[in-house]
Each structure stands twice: as structure tokens, then as C-alpha cells.
């Protein structure tokens, strides 16, 4: 395992995703959000369709279809609807900070729906992390932005997507799953268009920005898959949280955002809880392997 390269790759992936988010937020000021979603979906679908062709995989073969893949694709569509909407309405720093709660939501979902055993320590970590979310969005207080709830919905939709990924049959390749993940955006885009406006002609600059958003999204996906294959999970996973750092920097430099102290406090609670949950799961997995070896 090459942990140093894995760390560099996953950090670069988080930077790519943060840049993609910035382009989406920038475009949402002039291009209908449904149109952004459609073009992102078409671009990503085309990339993975071509990859599948290179692998001699037919993404439309009946054997790939399953209930798990269907519901995963539906969860992806729901996540994209609310994520793109939230980026257009909420500071990118707030979106990124709340988004860091996704691993906690996955642990929660695994306990509630997949029967995984979660002890009191991890339950406390989950509750602490979601306390951090409440501190960031502060419902009922003066700084509350109702649109920030869209990010919370996105977190749970992404958690559902990742949990459903575990149930997708092994015969379905990652390329096929990725293709339908992006194709979900194409299928769901008419709903967002109906709510936010139908497609319009885009300028040359907007077309370049759309291309850049697709490009950075695909690059980020490729880098994170490569990182997970070349490095030890325990060494590289904590560096996923660098996405928040990149989002803060881009929010300040591009959108003149200045997060307040409560946002930083909430983000710190979410990240600390996520790291603790990850390390606790790793420790329990090591203990299970040791007992099985005896």
C-alpha cells in the first residue's frame, strides 16, 4: 500500500469536488438549476458510457438491473436535486460543513436498516455530530436559513445511496453503477426544470463553466477510486474532510463568504465525531479479525 500517494490522491479528489461545487454555485446565478443538473448528468453519463465501451460492458444489459440499483439511482437523483438547489441558495461553506455529516448518517442508517451493531460510544458520536449540524443551521434562531435544510436532506439521500450500494449485486460493475448514478440526474432534471425554469441558451463562458464542472466531477471520482485502491483506508479516509477546507477557501476567494464562529464550531463537532466513529469502527473490525484468527 502506498499511503502517501493515496493521501495525495484523495486530497486532490476533495479539491476537485470543491471546485466542481463552486462552478455549480456560480452557474446557478444565471443558468436554470434543472439545466445545470441535466448537463452534469449527460456529461458524466457519457464519460462512464465510453469507459464501459472500453471495458466491453453493455450498461443496458438486463442482468445489471436490480431493485438495489433502482433505489440507489433514485437516491442519487434525490440527492442531486437538493444538493444543486442548496448550492444555489446557501453559502458553499455551509453546504460543505453540513455535508461532512454524511459518514455519521451512513452509520446511523446501517444501524437502523442493516442491523449493524452500534455501541453507546458511536451513538454518542452520531448525536454529537448532528448537534454540530444544528449549530450550523441553527433552526429557530436569527441566523436560520430554511434552505439549509436542503443540505440535510442531501446528506440522508447520499447515506441511503451509499448503503444501497452495498446491496447491489457483485455482478454489476462499478462502471455500470457510476453510469446510472449520473444518468439519474438526467432523469430527474425535468422535475427541477419545472420548478426553477426551462433550458435557455448559454453563453460561451457558461458552456465552459459547465464543461469544467463535469470535468472536475469526473476527475474527483477517478482520483478517489484510485486513492482507495492504492492506500490503506485508515490512513487516507480522514483526508476526506479536506473538502471543507477547500470549500472555505473557495467560498472566501470566489464568493466573499466569511463563516461565523458557530459555523466553525459546528463543523469541528461534525469532523471530530466522524473521525471518532471511523476510528472506533476500525478498532472493532480489528478486534473481530483477531478473535476470528484465534
All three cell numbers of 289: 479479525
Q: Hey, is 172 helix, strand or coil?
A: coil
Model confidence band, residue 229 (pLDDT cutoffs 50, 70, 90): low
pLDDT digits (tens, 9 = 90+) for 72-104: 889 989 998 998 889 888 889 888 888 888 888
Q: How far apart are CA 7 and CA 241, in angstroms?
A: 12
- What pLDDT is stored for residue 192 in this prediction? 87
Per the model's pLDDT, the better-predicted residue between 187 and 227 turns out to be 187
Closest CA to 234 of 288, 290, 275, 174: 275
Phi first, then psi: what are they for 136, rounded to 5°?
-70, -50
pLDDT of residue 221: 80
pLDDT at residue 218 in the model = 83
> Which are the contacts of 142, defined by CB distance < 8 A and separation ≥ 6?
none
| All three cell numbers of 184 | 439519474
**Is residue 143 very low, low, confident or very high in pLDDT (cuts 50, 70, 90)?**
low
Spatial distance between the Cα atoms of 180 and 164, rounded to a whole number of angstroms: 13
Grid cell, residue 23, equals 462552478
Can you give the pLDDT at residue 227?
Answer: 76
State what percent of residues in the chain have pLDDT above 70: 93
Q: Judge whether 65 and 202 are in contact, CB under 8 Å.
A: no
Q: Has residue 129 got a pLDDT over 80?
A: yes
Percent of the chain with pLDDT over 90: 14
Q: Would you give the DSSP letter of residue 283?
A: H
Lowest-confidence segment of 105-109, 139-143, 149-153 by average pLDDT: 139-143
**Cβ-count burial of 289 within 10 angstroms (0-12 exposed, 13-18 middle, 19+ buried)?**
exposed
For residue range 43-81, list pLDDT tens digits in order.
Answer: 889 988 998 899 898 888 888 888 888 998 899 899 989
Amino acid at each position: 500500500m502506498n499511503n502517501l500517494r493515496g493521501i495525495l490522491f484523495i486530497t486532490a479528489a476533495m479539491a476537485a469536488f470543491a471546485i466542481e461545487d463552486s462552478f455549480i454555485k456560480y452557474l446557478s446565478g444565471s443558468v436554470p438549476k434543472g439545466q445545470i443538473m441535466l448537463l452534469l448528468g449527460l456529461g458524466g453519463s457519457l464519460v462512464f458510457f465510453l469507459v464501459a465501451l472500453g471495458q466491453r460492458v453493455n450498461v443496458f444489459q438486463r442482468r445489471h438491473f436490480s431493485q438495489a440499483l433502482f433505489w440507489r439511482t433514485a437516491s442519487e437523483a434525490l440527492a442531486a436535486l437538493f444538493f444543486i438547489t442548496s448550492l444555489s441558495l446557501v453559502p458553499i461553506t455551509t453546504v460543505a460543513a453540513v455535508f461532512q455529516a454524511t459518514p455519521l448518517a451512513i452509520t446511523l442508517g446501517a444501524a437502523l436498516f442493516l442491523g449493524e451493531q452500534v455501541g453507546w460510544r458511536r451513538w454518542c458520536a452520531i448525536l454529537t455530530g448532528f448537534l454540530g449540524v444544528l449549530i450550523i443551521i441553527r433552526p429557530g434562531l436569527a441566523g436560520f436559513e430554511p434552505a439549509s435544510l436542503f443540505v440535510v436532506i442531501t446528506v440522508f439521500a447520499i447515506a441511503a445511496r451509499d448503503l444501497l450500494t452495498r446491496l447491489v449485486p457483485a455482478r454489476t460493475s462499478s462502471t455500470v453503477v457510476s453510469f446510472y448514478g449520473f444518468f439519474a440526474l438526467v432523469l430527474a432534471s425535468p422535475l427541477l426544470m419545472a420548478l426553477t425554469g426551462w433550458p435557455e441558451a448559454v453563453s460561451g463562458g457558461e458552456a465552459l463553466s459547465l464543461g469544467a464542472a463535469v470535468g472536475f466531477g469526473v476527475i474527483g471520482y477517478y482520483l478517489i477510486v484510485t486513492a482507495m485502491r492504492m492506500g490503506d483506508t485508515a490512513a487516507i479516509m480522514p483526508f476526506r474532510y479536506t473538502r471543507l477546507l477547500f470549500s472555505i477557501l473557495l467560498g472566501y476567494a470566489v464568493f466573499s463568504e466569511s463563516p461565523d464562529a458557530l459555523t466553525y464550531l459546528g463543523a469541528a463537532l461534525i469532523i471530530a465525531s466522524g473521525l471518532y466513529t471511523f476510528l472506533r469502527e476500525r478498532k472493532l473490525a480489528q478486534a473481530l479479525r483477531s478473535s476470528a484468527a484465534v
